[in-house]
Amino acid sequence: MTDRYAVIGNPVGHSKSPLIHEAFARQTGQDIAYSRLLAPLDDFTATARRFFAEGGAGINITVPFKQEAWRLVDVREGGAVTAEAVNTIRRDGNRLIGHNTDGLGLVADLERNLGIRIAGSSVLLMGAGGASNGVVQPLLERAPRQLVIVNRTPDKAEALVKRFASLSPTLRATGYAALNDERFDLVINATSTGLDGALPPLPGTLFAPGALAYDMMYGRITAFLAFAQARSVRAVDGLGMLVEQAAEAFLIWRGVRPQTAPVIAQLRAEP
């Protein structure tokens, strides 16, 4: 019997997740069907429960529902325990098991695909929402020299730092106005500004020599990536992270981790 999976989000029509998981299934000989589900902004829980009630085996969750998904599940495992955000759910009988594969996907893309050394680097993480929640612990586990979280609402960044403070003394929060005297080797945009074309108030001196600007959004040159490119900074979108976190979800669901390099290359080659 074909097992059914889906990605739930709003918006979700642009999602490449079906293409990715279909490629993984062909590669590994798995029998699955994978679709997109658009959930109303006020109706994620009902949409997810309906999918599982109809026999769905698992879902991926994208913006803006990752924190709501954390509240939905019966059990949280792995990175989801501390992240307070869930991007992958598997059904186990009548229980929903929540995972967060975002951080593993980000670190894999940075280190394995892009050749970035996180250890000893100065890292800036923009945003304190569901996307950031999922990547703080995996980034800290790579031992950066410092990890700074910046957010338009500093209180949210402070709350995130407080939750993970026991993992590293180099973790701290700040506001955008305090970035004028800072330089970072790696700047990660985990905000949703890539969807609406807005740009946080970033100083032009933000990037250290040889820095990488990384946007978790993919498929377009966001305002953040354009900002970095205008300053001759290497700028990369989050397509690799998308594929890598999907591979971790596929492993959770199917017990096999597919090869990601050919799928990333396939998606990069598409118009």
Sequence-distant (≥ 6) Cβ neighbours of residue 63 within 8 angstroms: 9, 10, 130, 131, 192, 195
Q: Which of 100, 254, 267, 122 is nearest to 186 (CA)?
A: 122
Strand order in the sheet with 171-174: 171-174, 146-150, 122-126, 184-189, 207-215, 234-236
Q: Which of 230, 63, 231, 199 is nearest to 126 (CA)?
A: 199
* Tokens matching residue 122: 């100065």
Residue from 16, 66, 156, 162 carrying the catalytic annotation = 66
Known catalytic residue: 66? yes
Residues acting as catalytic residues: 66
